[in-house]
Chains A and B, each alone.
Chain A
Amino acid sequence: GAGVSQTPSNKVTEKGKYVELRCDPISGHTALYWYRQSLGQGPEFLIYFQGTGAADDSGLPNDRFFAVRPEGSVSTLKIQRTERGDSAVYLCASSLTGRGTEAFFGQGTRLTVV
């Protein structure tokens, strides 16, 4: 497809379970970002990839959160031992090279932890 694709669109999980959220960026975009958007707030930065490597993971809230991008394209955000406070919309964005270039966003995954 032409845009950033995120799956699933919605995910409901039980407290304590493990979840994986997938992001398929625009082909050729080397920069990939994950953000978390809580209700009534703007998106908050989680992690930035340049190619295959996590160039900045300073926004990850704790060690239950982890993300990978093994081939420099698709990225997976992994959350272990989910908590109710993890409920939010997780947005992925990609851009051609990073700084200053337009970031294109996916439609997000709404995660609900019950």
Chain B
Amino acid sequence: AQTVTQSQPEMSVQEAETVTLSCTYDTSENNYYLFWYKQPPSRQMILVIRQEAYKQQNATENRFSVNFQKAAKSFSLKISDSQLGDTAMYFCALGAGSQGNLIFGKGTKLSVKP
């Protein structure tokens, strides 16, 4: 079975500081993809960052970067220079099937405080 676990239901960070959100996953597949999605109150899921499992280099997108530890099946998201607009739910997701459907964790509610 494929699972995604986010062990931090809520996190908070001061504006301009750095925060790390944790995610672990389980899959028996060798070739898969990992994603972090942001969901603001508007409900629309927005892709933050994407990692291909066969790539050793950690993905980065501006202030967002990941720490991908394949052997440990860990995929954490680091947000640098946090901004008020980063306040949202963050979901870690695994894409391991042949169809491309995603398995999501339960999410982490991030609050950025001024």
Contact residues of A with B, CB < 8 Å?
A: 31, 33, 35, 40-45, 48, 50, 55-56, 59, 89, 91, 93, 95, 98-108, 110
Of B33, B47, B97, B104, which one neighbours A44 at CB under 8 angstroms? B104
Given known A-B contacts A40-B106, A41-B106, A55-B99, A105 and B45 have beta carbons under 8 A apart: yes
Chain A residues with Cβ under 8 A from B46's Cβ? 105
Closest chain A residue to B4, Cβ basis: A42
Contact residues of B with A, CB < 8 Å?
A: 4, 33, 37, 42-47, 50, 52, 91, 93, 95, 97-107
Cβ-defined contact, A42 with B107, below 8 A: yes
Cβ-defined contact, B52 with A33, below 8 A: no
Cβ-defined contact, A99 with B44, below 8 A: no
Cβ-defined contact, A42 with B105, below 8 A: yes
Cβ-defined contact, A48 with B101, below 8 A: yes
Cβ-defined contact, A43 with B99, below 8 A: no
Bound-state CA distance A11–B37 (Å) is 25
Cβ-defined contact, B91 with A100, below 8 A: no
* Most A-side CB within 10 Å, residue of B43, B50, B103: B43
Given known A-B contacts A41-B106, A42-B104, A42-B105, A106 and B99 have beta carbons under 8 A apart: no
Closest chain B residue to A44, Cβ basis: B104
Chain B residues with Cβ under 8 A from A59's Cβ? 101
Cβ-defined contact, B52 with A99, below 8 A: no
